[in-house]
């Protein structure tokens, strides 16, 4: 039996001791609770776990001799990392991004991951989740423009913007990966919006049933 394609969850932060890993585990847990009875729907898997062991994310920057707009197959890229990245995105039914806002914008390593490819993103359903002291609103705006206008992909809904309490930014607290966010009370207010967003993602990728 062929392996079912996974939905890659791209993390915008690679800093140690970040909030991104904990938020990712929270989203994955919410998804698997929602689809527990929907066995034909794919799992959400951290994008870095989909890369071969000898390669890693984030990647680049690499300089390709051709613009990604003119590349239509993974083997046409010149570097193994980008070839594998192309295969992952090409086979993905959708993409989820969870990212902090850095200096009023998109983290550089995340923009790099997006810019290495082009045709692979076209018409791909995206769900964006940003976070920060004010929900990562500037990052959400920029990322929405990049995805829709630059990469010709489509957002399944408006970005989810999670406002972190001060102690999660400048203090020692972090969203718990081990408890899948269940120990972080502030996340409760976002559960309904996240559930609605995940439903929109399901509607974008699930085969339409005949009436």
Segments forming the whole domain that contains residue 65: 20-205
The predicted model gives 108-128 an average pLDDT of 96
The predicted model gives 184-188 an average pLDDT of 94
Q: What is the mean pLDDT of the chain?
A: 92
pLDDT value at 2 more than 70: no
Q: Residue 75 sits in a domain of what CATH number?
A: 3.40.50.360
Identify whether the C-beta of residue 2 lies closer than 8 Å to the C-beta of residue 18.
no
- Output the pLDDT for position 92: 97
Q: How many domains does the chain have?
A: 1
Identify whether the C-beta of residue 149 lies closer than 8 Å to the C-beta of residue 119.
no
Q: Is 63 part of a structural domain of the chain?
A: yes
pLDDT value at 172 more than 90: yes
Task: Give the predicted TM-score (pTM) of the model.
Answer: 0.93
pLDDT value at 8 more than 90: yes
Q: Is 100 part of a structural domain of the chain?
A: yes
Rounded to whole angstroms, how far apart are CA atoms 53 and 185?
A: 35
Helix or strand holding residue 124 (H, E): none
- Output the pLDDT for position 207: 64
Identify whether the C-beta of residue 77 lies closer than 8 Å to the C-beta of residue 71.
yes
- Model confidence at 23, pLDDT cuts 50, 70, 90, reads very high
Q: In DSSP terms, which residues pair with 33 in a beta bridge?
A: none
Q: In DSSP terms, which residues pair with 97 in a beta bridge?
A: 10, 128
The predicted model gives 132-154 an average pLDDT of 98
Q: Is 15 part of a structural domain of the chain?
A: no
Q: Is 11 part of a structural domain of the chain?
A: no
Residue closest to 72 by CA, chosen among 112, 124, 115, 118? 118
Identify whether the C-beta of residue 126 lies closer than 8 Å to the C-beta of residue 153.
yes
The predicted model gives 71-91 an average pLDDT of 96
Percent of the chain with pLDDT over 70: 95
The predicted model gives 64-76 an average pLDDT of 93
Q: What is the pLDDT of residues 34-52, one digit of tens each?
A: 887 656 789 999 999 999 9
Rounded to whole angstroms, how far apart are CA atoms 144 and 133?
A: 19
Q: Is 70 part of a structural domain of the chain?
A: yes
Backbone angles phi, psi at 98, to 5 degrees: -120, 125
- Output the pLDDT for position 5: 81
Residue closest to 174 by CA, chosen among 4, 39, 166, 37? 166
């Amino acid at each position: 039996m062929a392996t079912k394609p996974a939905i890659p969850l791209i993390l915008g932060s690679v800093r140690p001791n970040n909030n991104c890993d904990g938020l990712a585990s929270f989203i994955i847990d919410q998804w698997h609770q929602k689809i527990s009875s929907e066995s034909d729907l794919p799992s959400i898997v951290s994008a870095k776990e989909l890369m071969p062991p000898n390669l890693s994310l984030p990647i680049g920057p690499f300089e390709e001799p051709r613009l990604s707009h003119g590349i239509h197959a993974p083997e046409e890229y010149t570097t193994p990392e980008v070839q594998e990245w192309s295969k992952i995105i090409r086979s993905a039914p959708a993409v989820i991004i969870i990212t902090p806002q850095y200096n009023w914008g998109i983290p550089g390593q995340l923009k790099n991951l997006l810019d290495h490819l082009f045709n692979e993103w076209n018409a791909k359903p995206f769900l964006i989740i940003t976070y920060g002291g004010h929900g990562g609103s500037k990052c959400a705006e920029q990322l929405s423009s990049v995805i829709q206008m630059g990469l010709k992909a489509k957002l399944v809904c408006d970005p989810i913007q999670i406002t972190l309490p001060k102690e999660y930014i400048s203090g020692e607290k972090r969203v718990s990966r081990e408890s899948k966010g269940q120990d972080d009370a502030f996340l409760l207010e976002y559960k309904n919006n996240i559930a609605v967003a995940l439903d929109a993602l399901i509607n974008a990728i699930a085969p339409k049933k005949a009436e």
